[in-house]
């Protein structure tokens, strides 16, 4: 069974940093691109960042470019999101999602909550 489990969320002060992790299981992790998507309270879903299967390509939404860094460790079946210079606008549930060969995000984790507050 395909499963993704996010961790690392929590409360952080404005300007602070946080590192999210996503552990994948039930599939060959290295064959898939991976994505981070977030949902702020009361808002819709927003794509945050994506990384290709062997980390050749990495993409970021303009709202996080220069502040967030996506990475992966295929040996550990894990995806990461290093977040810095966090602001209130980054408060959201962060989901990791697997991307198949057509770029469809077919499986998602349950999400991890990041709260930026003083």
Partner 1 sequence: EIVMTQSPATLPVSLGERASLSCRASQSVSSNLAWYQKKPGQAPRLLIYGASTRATGVPARFSGSGSGTEFTLTISSLQSEDFAVYFCQQYNKWPLYTFGQGTKLEIK
Contact 96, 34 (CB under 8 A): yes
Strand partners, 12: 116
Residue 2 CB, shortest distance to partner 1, in Å, is 10
Contact 114, 21 (CB under 8 A): no
Of positions 41, 44, 66, 75, contacts partner 1 by CB under 8 A: 44
SS3 103: coil
- The smaller minimum CB distance to partner 1, of residues 29 and 107, is found at 107
61 by Cβ neighbours in 10 Å (0-12 / 13-18 / 19+) ranks as middle
Residue 3 CB, shortest distance to partner 1, in Å, is 9
Of positions 23, 27, 40, 47, contacts partner 1 by CB under 8 A: 47
- The smaller minimum CB distance to partner 1, of residues 16 and 47, is found at 47
Within 8 A by CB and 6+ apart from 109, the residues are 3, 4, 5, 6, 22, 95, 96, 97
Does the protein bind partner 1 through residue 25 (CB under 8 A)?
Answer: no
User: Which run of H or of E encompasses 69?
Assistant: strand 68-73
Interface with partner 1 (CB under 8 A), residue total: 24
Residue 91 CB, shortest distance to partner 1, in Å, is 18
Site residues, partner 1 (CB under 8 A): 4, 33, 35, 37, 44-47, 49-50, 59, 95, 97, 99, 102-111
């Amino acid at each position: 069974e395909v499963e993704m489990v996010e961790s690392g969320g929590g409360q952080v002060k404005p300007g602070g940093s946080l590192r999210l992790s996503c552990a994948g299981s039930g599939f060959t992790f290295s064959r898939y691109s991976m994505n981070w998507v977030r949902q702020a309270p009361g808002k819709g879903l927003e794509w945050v960042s994506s990384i290709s299967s062997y980390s050749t390509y990495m993409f970021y939404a303009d709202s996080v470019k220069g502040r967030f860094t996506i990475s992966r460790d295929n040996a550990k079946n894990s995806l990461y999101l290093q977040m810095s210079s966090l602001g209130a606008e980054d408060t959201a549930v962060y989901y990791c999602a697997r991307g198949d060969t057509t770029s469809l995000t077919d499986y998602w984790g349950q999400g991890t909550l990041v709260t930026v507050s003083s």
